[in-house]
A and B are shown apart, each in its own frame.
Chain A
């Protein structure tokens, strides 16, 4: 670990601005870290040559007096974002050899802001998973270890590669996408900050779709400030995405005033669930105390439809996925199998071999819930419950400015655990899914360690398009928690 890779993104930015380092230097240090950390399997594709070229171009721009918000800062890009000319896989066999001829809006926004691409980070196949174990390219290791136990742990998912890479200091920050918790849960598992903005804040154009009404890109970094800086570059209206919202993007970093006096923070009683480890409950109580000490008013609130959120999510997300993934048929790009047979045989062979078990499971669930005769009982009912969940939040936000909850019901678990129990795996999203269904922003902040030394996160949820308040409260929580533990991988 060099000094350069141990910097936060904001610190690196400031050094660059002062001319005390160059993008080339920073990038070289991170390329070396990325290579050293290959055992984590955090990257599907490393792009060191491209990174160096981008870094040199950045240094040139800076000399010319130009500097974007992310000027010269090397980052990882979740391999769900299409990147022009760079292999894009969605961690699926079915996208074998797919080199897009186009650049996703969010990644393009980041290049426009001066960022440098280190590589494409690993993820659960098509972002479906909470452990990163469903990747065709193999699972990702969490750089953390339990004290005195060297078994490899999962980084969470689906943005597990991004979380692992940022925690292991291979990248100053990384992008994630969050459909039901895919930014916040791995951030919590890896001891970093993960931010899911309001649905519509970042363009979905060029992001391989999982569940269109839920997918949202967001930043992952080692501090609240880092994610605020990144989001400003990522966000913005895009006429190519009809669901993106035409609202000005504020300077999120400016929201980090540290002053939350008089703000009201809601504690939803429905988030106290049976069987949750006591240390997570205690951390939650500790979080409440920190916020009260900072001058916030903490009030208990009720989100009565919370316990329907997970089943609702596991109807809506697979329903949309079953349709979104119909385009992977072997006809135009990616894997093609069984081409000597009939069209139907080609479909069956291509999709049977191209999709992993979890993706197939969700396509089947999604197809089922949309089928004639089941549509009203499942999909339509789920849509109705979804609007009730959104109403719960709307009513709560009449009283409070933000909501505090745990990020996940457990710390990172061992690789291979929960693989034979999809429901247990789906439970990992229990705290993140409700806000996803309501389209609301959320952020996970590392706030403490379990007794055996694994990071735990606290989640803050905010009002639609009020990411600023969220960053502000998150900044205070981060300051109070003073989380400075580092993963075992760095000590090795």
Chain B
């Protein structure tokens, strides 16, 4: 547990996150309009989205399926009956004058997320609930000196609001929570997790307390749109609250707005100014009743999730927990690794994927799809190491060549004559020559300087441009120097 040391003693941060995750679906929560990102303003707006008189919402079954899938992925309670309610407030980009959301009866109840922390430790964070709701449109204030523009493309798009319990104690944990949640959503295919496109946004609830004391007054910082900003917002807000509390002041319960440019937040509205949303069940929609068999079908179709995959990688492949964690953080990476490891030494495969391969990806800025070396090619390279055709050291050279040219490992080894010398008579001849030409070093070895053996290996490698089988060289040297 990380505590903050203040002038007057230690404080503990208590953090809860509300994440708005845009559901992956072709059409909106209550209308048939497209949800595609980046279309011309107001080109994806149905009569329902624009709240024309007499228009009625019709629930998109697929969005419900996605919410259920997410709930199952979060090991959460699926509520077989849930209710859509209206959250009433006026704003120019909210055409109905209310947002259809879920309030007293959300579709998903309590669940759990396991955080993977930097030190390899894990920690459980509770999920309070997940509910479905409509997104609002977008107000654009910077196109005209006195007027605002409204883009309703986003109006009515399905969001999942995922609310954590106040179980996090540091900015790092909040970051780990968001990364893990994003990983799970991406595994499930229910949210693309692209925070820069706004498809995942977080509200941060934070309070400070003396360790062991009851919860303090919290503030809510709205709409923070990257993991880095969430962590910055937490640090900044904790610092602000600490300063107040240490001076003997009181925290005002309020909603704050974070500015990524300055790294600071400002008060948006206090509790007294808070909206009275006048929630009530939407009379246009009947309570949502799920068929248990349908929920079972969705459950049966869930992919293997990161925690299970990690456990399997450790158990079946003998990977260190940390390596397994790195590999499962992304579903495609995990699949890539499994292709490379298939029928090969899984640890060697993990080392290559995490080390050289990720290194090359990072350096080149490529991703798995666009990388010049695919899983099959990387596997080919590992096969050449495994059957002794090339040494691990040569393999690194070959890999660089593969990355640059996109060629298969075998072809490069062939063309460049990099094949390892594993012919014992050839190595023996070489070793004999070197021993004959370097009596001084032979003398040192014989007088007990074992380290000089490395020098002999180096000489052999130099003579073969590194192609000699290192195991064999060692063996022959010991025998001849005997």
Contact present for A323 and B86 (CB under 8 Å): yes
Contacts of A367 in B (CB 8 A): 278
Q: Is the pair A323, B54 in contact by a Cβ cutoff of 8 Å?
A: no
Residues of A within 8 A of B54 (CB): 81-82, 100, 104, 204-209
Is there contact, CB below 8 Å, between A333 and B88? no
Residue B229 lies at the interface, judged by CB distance under 8 Å to chain A: no
Does chain B have a CB within 8 A of A370?
yes
- Chain A residues lying within 8 Å of B53, measured Cβ to Cβ, are 82, 88, 90, 95, 98, 100, 208-209, 327, 333
Which segment of A43-51, A64-72, A236-244, A424-432 sits at the interface?
A: A236-244
CB distance from A105 to the nearest CB of B (A): 9
Binary CB contact string for chain B from 95 to 122 against chain A (1 if under 8 A, 0 otherwise): 1111000000000000000000000000
Q: Which residues of A contact B88 (CB under 8 A)?
A: 322-323, 326, 370
A319 contacts which chain B residues (CB < 8 A)? 280
Chain A residues, Cβ within 8 Å of B435: none
Give 1 or 0 for each of A288-328: 1 = CB within 8 Å of chain B CB.
00000000000000000000000000000001101101110
Interchain CB contact (< 8 A) of B56 among A88, A204, A329, A371? A204
Complex: A82 Cα to B47 Cα, angstroms: 13
Q: Within residues 31 to 88 of chain B, which ones have a CB less than 8 A from any CB in chain A?
A: 47, 50-59, 86, 88
A327 touches B95 (CB 8 A): yes
Interface size classification for chain A: 35 or more
What separation, in Å, do the CA atoms of A320 and B85 have in the docked complex? 12
User: Is A108 an interface residue when CB atoms closer than 8 A count as contact?
Assistant: no
- Give the total of B residues in contact with A, Cβ under 8 Å: 30
Partner of A323, one of B55, B59, B97, B148: B97
Task: For A212, list chain B residues within 8 Å (CB).
Answer: 283-284
Contact of A205 among B56, B95, B278 (CB under 8 A): B56
Q: Is the CB of B455 closer than 8 A to any CB of chain A?
A: no
Write out the residue numbers on chain A whose beta carbons fall within 8 Å of the beta carbon of B96.
Answer: 326-327
Instruction: State whether A347 touches B90 (Cβ < 8 A).
Output: yes
For A6, list chain B residues within 8 Å (CB): none
Distance from B56 Cβ to chain A, minimum over Cβ atoms (Å): 5
* 0/1 string, B247-291, CB within 8 A of A gives 1: 000000000000000000000000000001011100111100000
Instruction: Say yes or no: is A331 at the interface (Cβ < 8 Å to chain B).
Output: yes
CA distance A333 to B50 in the complex (A): 10
B368 interfacial contact with A, CB 8 Å: no
Q: Mark A195-222, 1 if CB is under 8 A from B, else 0.
A: 0000000001111110111000000000
Closest beta carbon of chain B to A341's beta carbon, Å: 11
Interface pair A323/B52, CB less than 8 Å apart: no
Q: Given the complex of chains A and B, what is the CA–CA distance between A101 and B52 in angstroms?
A: 10
Query: Is A18 among interface residues, defined by CB-CB distance under 8 A?
Result: no
| Residue among B47, B280, B286 making CB contact with A102, cutoff 8 Å | B47
Min distance, Cβ A58 to any Cβ of chain B, angstroms: 26
A347–B92 Cα distance when bound, in Å, is: 10
CB-CB under 8 A from A95, the residues of chain B are: 53
CB <8 Å contact, B276 and A329: no
Query: Is B57's CB under 8 angstroms from A332's CB?
Result: no
> Are B47 and A331 closer than 8 Å at their CB atoms?
no
Q: Mark B286-322, 1 if CB is under 8 A from A, else 0.
A: 1000000000000000000000000000000000000
Pairwise interchain contact A370-B52, C-beta atoms closer than 8 A = no
Q: A209: nearest residue on chain B (CB-CB)? A: B54
Q: Given A320-B283, A372-B276, are A242 and B98 also a contact pair (CB < 8 Å)? A: no
Within 8 A of A (CB), among B431-456: none
- CB-based contact A242/B97 at 8 Å: no
Chain A min CB distance to B100 (Å): 11
A240-253: CB near B (< 8 Å → 1, else 0) gives 11110000000000
Separation of A343 and B90 alpha carbons in the complex (Å):
10
Smallest beta-carbon distance B74→chain A, Å: 28
> Does any Cβ of B come within 8 Å of A465's Cβ?
no
Bound-state Cα–Cα, A50 to B50, Å: 28
| Distance from B153 Cβ to chain A, minimum over Cβ atoms (Å) | 15
Query: Which B residues touch A375, using CB under 8 A?
Result: 278, 280
Q: Answer whether residue B150 sits at the interface, using C-beta atoms and an 8 A cutoff.
A: yes
> In this complex, which of B53, B55, B148 has the most chain A Cβ atoms within 10 angstroms of its Cβ?
B53
Determine whether A379 belongs to the interface, using a CB cutoff of 8 Å to chain B.
yes
How long is the Cα–Cα vector from A37 to B96 in the complex, in angstroms? 38
- A379 in contact with B280 given A100-B53, A323-B86 (CB within 8 Å): yes
Task: Report Cα–Cα, A329/B89, bound state, in Å.
Answer: 12
Indicate if the CB atoms of A242 and B280 lie closer than 8 Å. Answer: no
Contacts A212-B284, A243-B284, A323-B278 given: A329-B50 contact, CB under 8 Å?
A: no
**With the chains together, A204 CA to B284 CA distance in Å?**
9
Min C-beta distance of A60 to chain B, whole Å: 30
Q: Which residues of B contact A242 (CB under 8 A)?
A: 56-59, 284-286
Q: Are A102 and B56 in contact (CB under 8 A)?
A: no
Are A323 and B280 closer than 8 Å at their CB atoms? Answer: yes
Q: Quick check: A213 and B56 within 8 Å, CB to CB?
A: no
Partner of B97 from A100, A213, A240, A327 at Cβ < 8 Å: A327
Cβ contact within 8 Å between B276 and A240: no
Q: Which of A204, A322, A325, A331 is B92 in contact with, Cβ under 8 Å?
A: A331
Give the Cβ gap from B437 to chain A, nearest Cβ, in Å: 91
Q: Shortest Cβ distance from B478 into chain A, in angstroms?
A: 83
Report chain A residues within 8 Å CB of B279.
Answer: 370
Chain A residues within 8 Å of B283, by CB: 211-213, 243, 320
Q: Are A332 and B95 in contact (CB under 8 A)?
A: yes
A102 to B55 CA separation, bound complex (whole angstroms): 10
Bound-state Cα–Cα, A88 to B286, Å: 28
Name which residue of chain B comes closest to A214, CB basis. B283
B385-421 vs A, CB cutoff 8 Å, 1 = contact: the mask equals 0000000000000000000000000000000000000
Contacts of A372 in B (CB 8 A): 276, 278
Cα distance A319–B278 when bound, in Å? Answer: 9
Q: How far is the CB of A2 from chain B (nearest CB, A)?
A: 35
B286 CB contacts on chain A under 8 angstroms? 242-243
Residue of A98, A323, A347, A372 with most partner-chain B CB within 10 A: A323
Contacts A100-B54, A331-B150 aside, 13 further interface pairs with beta carbons under 8 A come to A82-B53, A98-B53, A204-B54, A208-B53, A243-B284, A323-B97, A323-B278, A323-B280, A327-B51, A327-B53, A329-B92, A343-B148, A371-B276
Top-6 shortest CB links A-B: A326-B97, A213-B283, A370-B278, A212-B283, A327-B51, A206-B54
A-B contact list, 10 entries, CB within 8 Å: A82-B53, A90-B53, A98-B53, A209-B54, A242-B284, A243-B285, A327-B95, A329-B92, A329-B97, A343-B92
